[in-house]
C-alpha cells in the first residue's frame, strides 16, 4: 500500500505475453512482486495498523497479475485482510471481489473550511486546549472510549490511525488532543494533526454517557477555530457513512464531501 491512509490506485494495464506467465515472488517482509519474464507487471504490500488489522494493496500493470498477487497475499497472511478503494472505482472493486473480498463499510471524505466554524460551547462544557489536559486523565479517557467502541461497533469502524504507537500505548501524542470536560469528568476528545496542506481531524469521540449534550460540536468547533486562528484554512476528515449523527455534525459546520472510500474485507 502506498500509504496506510489512501485507497488503492492502479497503473494502466498492458497485456502479458502468453509465453511469459506471471510469477510472484516475495521480495520483503511486507512486499511481493509479479514478473512476466523479466518484466515487472505488478506489486503488492501489506501494512499493519493495529494488531490483527492488516490492510493490503495491489498495483498491476497487467490485469493478469492481479489474481496471482492476491493468491500470494492470502497464502502468506492470516485473515481477515482489508483494503481501501475509491468508491467509484468499479474496475478495482471487481478485481478484489473476485479475490474473495466483500464490502465492509464506506466513508465520506470531507474538507472543512476553518473560517466557517463559529466558536461554540455547549452549556456545562469546558474545553481544555490541546496540550493542557492532565496526561493521566487523558489516557484514562482514551482507554474508556476505546473500550466502548470495541464493545459496540468495533474499533475498525473508526477512521484509521496512521501513526505508530508503542505496544499498549494508544495515545499518539498527548499534545495533539483537546478535551471536553462535562459534569466534572473528562468526557470527550478531539485529535488534530497538522502537516503539509490541510490539517487532519484524526479522531473525534465522546463517552457514551455524555453524548447528546453538545460535546462533539463543542470539540469540533474548538478545533476548527483554533486552526483558523493559527492561519490554517482547511482540515480533512473521514466519517463512516453509517454514522448519521457524525455526518450531520460535520456538514452543519461547513464540511464539504470530496469523495468516498470503500473498505473491503476478506475473512
Reported confidence tier of residue 116, pLDDT bands at 50, 70, 90: confident
What is the rounded CA–CA span in Å between residue 173 and residue 171?
6
Task: Tell me the CATH architecture of domain 22-100.
Answer: 3-Layer(aba) Sandwich (3.40)
- Domain 110-262 is classified in which CATH homologous superfamily? Gcn5-related N-acetyltransferase (GNAT) (3.40.630.30)
Of 212, 250, 230, 267, the closest CA to residue 80 belongs to 267
CB-CB contact of 221 with 192 (8 Å): no
Tell me how far apart the terminal alpha carbons of the chain are, to the nearest angstrom. 19
Query: Taking a C-beta distance cutoff of 8 angstroms, is the pair 240, 107 a contact?
Result: yes
pLDDT tens, 54-109? 999 999 999 999 999 999 999 999 999 999 999 999 999 999 999 999 999 999 99
Domain with CATH 3.40.630.30 in the chain: 22-100, 110-262
Q: Which three cell numbers stand for residue 191?
A: 485529535
Q: What is the pLDDT of residues 172-220, one digit of tens each?
A: 789 999 999 999 999 999 999 987 778 999 899 999 999 999 999 999 9
How do strand 102-113 and strand 125-128 relate by DSSP bridges? Answer: unpaired
> What's the whole-model pTM score?
0.80
- The verdict on whether omega for the bond into residue 118 sits within 30 degrees of 0, i.e. cis, is no
Amino acid at each position: 500500500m502506498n500509504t496506510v491512509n489512501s485507497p488503492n490506485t492502479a497503473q494502466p494495464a498492458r497485456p502479458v505475453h502468453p509465453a511469459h506467465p506471471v510469477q510472484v515472488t516475495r521480495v520483503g517482509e511486507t512486499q511481493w512482486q509479479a514478473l512476466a519474464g523479466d518484466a515487472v507487471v505488478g506489486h503488492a504490500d501489506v501494512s499493519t495498523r493495529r494488531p490483527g488489522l492488516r490492510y493490503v494493496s495491489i498495483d498491476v500493470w497487467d490485469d493478469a497479475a492481479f489474481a496471482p498477487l492476491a493468491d500470494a497475499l492470502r497464502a502468506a497472511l492470516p485473515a481477515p485482510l482489508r483494503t481501501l478503494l475509491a468508491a467509484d472505482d468499479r474496475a478495482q472493486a471487481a478485481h478484489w471481489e473476485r479475490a474473495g473480498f466483500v464490502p465492509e463499510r464506506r466513508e465520506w471524505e470531507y474538507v472543512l473550511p476553518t473560517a466557517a466554524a463559529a466558536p461554540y460551547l455547549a452549556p456545562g462544557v469546558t474545553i481544555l486546549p490541546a496540550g493542557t489536559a492532565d496526561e493521566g486523565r487523558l489516557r484514562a479517557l482514551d482507554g474508556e472510549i476505546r473500550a466502548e467502541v470495541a464493545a459496540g461497533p468495533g474499533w475498525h469502524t473508526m477512521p484509521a490511525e496512521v501513526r505508530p504507537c508503542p505496544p499498549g500505548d494508544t495515545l499518539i501524542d498527548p499534545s495533539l488532543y483537546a478535551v471536553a470536560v462535562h459534569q466534572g469528568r473528562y468526557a470527550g476528545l478531539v485529535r488534530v494533526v497538522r502537516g503539509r496542506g490541510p490539517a487532519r481531524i484524526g479522531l473525534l469521540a465522546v463517552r457514551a454517557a455524555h453524548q447528546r449534550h453538545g460535546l462533539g460540536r463543542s470539540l469540533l468547533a474548538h478545533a476548527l477555530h483554533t486552526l483558523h486562528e493559527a492561519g490554517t484554512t482547511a482540515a480533512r476528515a473521514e466519517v463512516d457513512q453509517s454514522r448519521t449523527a457524525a455526518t450531520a455534525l460535520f456538514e452543519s459546520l461547513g464540511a464539504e464531501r470530496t469523495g468516498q472510500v470503500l473498505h473491503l474485507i476478506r475473512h
